[in-house]
Amino acid sequence: MDLQAYLKRCVGLVDDALDHWLPAETMMPSELHKAMRYSVFAGGKRIRPVLMIASCEAAGGAAEAVLPAACAMEMVHTYSLIHDDLPAMDDDDFRRGRPTSHKVFGEALAILAGDALLTEAFDLLTREEALPGVGAEVRLRLTHLLARAAGSRGMVAGQVVDMDSEGRDIDFPTLEYIHTRKTGALILAAVQMGALIGGAPGGTFEALTDYGRAAGLAFQIADDILDVVGDQELLGKDVGSDQERGKATYPALLGLEEARQRAREMRDRALAAVEPLGKKAEPLRDIAHFIVDRSF
Ligand code: GRG
């Protein structure tokens, strides 16, 4: 399979859908909508939407069916990046190769752009015309999956414990607590939402859940490794910042080699989970390799 072509096709579909569903820059208050679009269209990898599409396809569904839900996921992810970059949190100047939202629009508007993206995501997910083929019960489950993954039992919990751990020695279970929530929760939800929209039967949903859990952890370990050995230009953000801030990371706790080994183990776990799904899961398999081997 040509993964680059697959990614390009998915990213094209997602970008068009985002452009369609996000409020236009000309809509009042224009500055807010400009700020929302500035961060969403700053050139992210769209890995969560791509995983949602690939999971839906692995369950027998079509890419087009998940696009609004994939947009909602990317909006929540982008909100988290905008807020994470704020002076009160990581205080970063660059994200996705561009000045961060608060550097361009000021802190108040950056906070509000993040708030609005988070809220618009749920507006989109619960709007009947956005997911025409998806029944109310499934829409409710999708909404719950995204809310649970983003909130104080998911991503926000991971972020809080991560901030709390800065400059402190933490143990391995705490590190896994942080990573499964801060990054893993949205990735798992993306895979599960794709599975639901694709109509996955119980066994397939479980297999995709195992894949999503392992892929989420693999993604974060790779992210930690890239912060040590990655290329600043390719990543579009500063490298070495985790160590500078005394952040809890896999390389810091396990060393680079063991962190790499752990990432490979998680990739293999993800691959094993979707083995029974056959050819339909080929994109998911290639994405698992990409997550671990990527340079950006
Ligand atoms: C502020 C509630 C709140 C949460 C922030 C996502 C997050 C939690 C913080 C981002 C900091 C960070 C570097 C997390 C590690 C992994 C991660 C989520 C990286 C960014 O995701 P990518 O690589 O980014 O998918 P792109 O730009 O490609 O979308």
Of 247 and 271, more confident: 271
pLDDT at 128 over 90: no
**Segment 207-240, tens digit of pLDDT:** 999 999 999 999 999 999 999 987 777 666 667 7
Residue-level pLDDT at 296 = 73
The CA distance from 90 to 95, in Å, is 11
Q: How far apart are CA 116 and CA 212, in angstroms?
A: 27
Reply yes or no on whether the pLDDT at 249 is more than 70: yes
Q: Token pair of 165, please?
A: 């751990």
Distance 136 CA to ligand 1 centre (A): 30
Atom of ligand 1 nearest to the CA of 183: 18
pTM of the model: 0.95
Give residue for tokens 């224009």.
30
Ligand 1 pocket: which of 45, 89, 163, 182 to mutate (most atoms <8 Å of CB)? Answer: 182
Q: Looking at ligand 1, which atom is closest to the CA of residue 223? A: 16
- For residue 48, the ligand 1 atom closest to its alpha carbon is 25
Please choose from 115, 146, 223 the residue to mutate so as to test ligand 1's pocket, defined by most ligand atoms within 8 A of CB. 223
pLDDT at 234: 67
d(CA 102, CA 136): 37
Within 10 A of 163 (CB to CB), how many other CB atoms are there? 16
DSSP string, 140-166: HHHHHHHHHHHSTTTHHHHHHHHHHHT
pLDDT of residue 229: 87
Please indicate whether residue 132 or residue 271 has the higher confidence score (pLDDT). 271
Count, residues in the chain: 296
Protein residues whose CB sits closer than 6 Å to any atom of ligand 1: 44-45, 47, 80-81, 83-84, 96, 155-156, 159, 182-183, 220, 223
Q: What tokens does 185 get?
A: 């929760």
Q: How confident is the model at residue 244 (pLDDT cuts 50, 70, 90)?
A: confident
pLDDT for residue 235: 67
Give every CB contact of residue 115 below 8 A, 6+ residues apart in sequence.
79
> For tokens 């953000």, what's the residue?
237
State the average pLDDT for the chain: 95
